[in-house]
Structure formats: structure tokens, C-alpha cells
A and B are shown apart, each in its own frame.
Chain A
Amino acid sequence: GENVEQHPSTLSVQEGDSAVIKCTYSDSASNYFPWYKQELGKRPQLIIDIRSNVGEKKDQRIAVTLNKTAKHFSLHITETQPEDSAVYFCAASINPGTYKYIFGTGTRLKVLA
């Protein structure tokens, strides 16, 4: 069945350094790849997304890259700040025909001041 693998499960970085989280998906029909941030005790919120016709997307300190051939996509956070500490989830939409979402298992990012 469809699967999304996410690595690492935990990541600690010094404030100001960069963080990279990687996801691999199994279904080549996937065409929408969102990233969600979940702070402790809160609901997930979208931080950035990318579609299969785009290789890279950037929004201030956050960027996502997509390699369709290798079926993997990555989240890059530059100049990390303590408020970036949270759990990050990648996801892949299984589309067209169905609108299932498969989420990765999450990465707990700790930014050390």
C-alpha cells in the first residue's frame, strides 16, 4: 500500500543553524505534498506545500524541494529560532481518483538557544 517515510524522528539544532527533514513516498501518482507544523498541545497547521509540477518552493526561511524521480521531498528551515521547535509532518496526497492522505510519522525539532 501507499507509504510515506519521514526522517529523522528527532532533530536538535543550535539556534541560527539550518534544519532539514526528509520524506520518501511510494505512490508515483502522488501530486500534492504539504508540510504541517504541530506545536505542543495544538492542532497541525500548514506551513508550506508543493505540487508535483514544481521542483522547489520557498517562503521566507522555509523551503521545500521535490524530486519526483526519486520520490522524495524535503523541508528546509534556515536561521532556526526557538519558536520553530515543534513536530513537523510531511504528507502525500494520493490523487487523482482518490483523495487519500498519507502522513509521515513526524519529526520532533528542538532548536537550542
Chain B
Amino acid sequence: EAQVTQNPRYLITVTGKKLTVTCSQNMNHEYMSWYRQDPGLGLRQIYYSMNVEVTDKGDVPEGYKVSRKEKRNFPLILESPSPNQTSLYFCASSLDGVQEQFFGPGTRLTVL
């Protein structure tokens, strides 16, 4: 089954404790992206990647890191999480940068 998976689905952590949210797709997509969703603000792009080792900043990259060492995986790293990073995070992938994006199920992160 073609899909985008994210782990964990729910995470409660404390300020400053490094964490990684994994994202994987099995559709051989070139493009992958991370978004955060907050009430009233819609979806805001954090980082995106056009291919292996090619990443670029979205609208709200501060406080986040990404890597694309393999085509299928695009982890999101929070080196020192803060409460303002409490949000619902979605990973997405598409064939290229201008095709339908397929979203993962979301990761609800709470930083205390």
C-alpha cells in the first residue's frame, strides 16, 4: 500500500530534550516536506527536500533541522524543543515539487 508514515504519532516532552520525528514514504517520491499546523494559522512549511542531500527552508524553519540521506526518509529534528513548538506536524511527499502531496497521519507534539 502506497503511504507516508510518521512516528511517533503522539509525543509529550520537556523543554530542551532533543527529539526526532521520523517520516518515510514508499512511493519513490522525489519531494518531501514538513509542515506544522496550528489553529488559525493553517499549514506552514518548515523544510522541504527535492531529492537526496537537497533540502531547503520553508516559511518557519527556525528551531528545526532535517536531513535526507535516503530517498524514502526525511526525519525532522528538534535539537532543543521549546513550548512554542507544541503543534501538529505533518510530513508529506509528492512525485516532484508540483504534484499532489500525500500527507502522513500527523504527529501531535507537546513541549512542556
Contacts and interface: CB of A to CB of B under 8 A. Distances in A.
B98 A44 contact: no
Given A91-B43, A103-B35, 12 more contacts: A2-B59, A34-B101, A43-B104, A89-B43, A93-B97, A93-B98, A99-B50, A99-B56, A101-B45, A101-B101, A103-B45, A105-B42
A101 B44 CA distance: 8
Contacts of B50: 99
Contacts, number: 57
What size tier do the contact residues of chain A reach?
20 to 34
A95 B70 CA distance: 24
A45 B106 CA distance: 13
B56 A44 contact: no
The 6 A-B pairs of least Cβ separation, nearest first, read A99-B97, A43-B103, A105-B42, A103-B43, A32-B98, A46-B100
B69 to A, nearest CB: 19
- Of A2, A44, A93, the most chain B CB neighbours within 10 A belong to A44
Contact of B100 (A1, A31, A49, A103): A49
Contacts of A1: 59
Nearest to B40: A105
Given A100-B45, A104-B42, A106-B42, A45 B103 contact: yes
B90 interface: yes
Nearest to A2: B59
Contact of B41 (A43, A49, A100, A105): A105
Interface in B72-109: 90, 96-98, 100-101, 103-106
Nearest to B49: A99
Given A43-B90, A45-B103, A100-B58, A31 B98 contact: yes
A21 to B, nearest CB: 13
A98 interface: yes
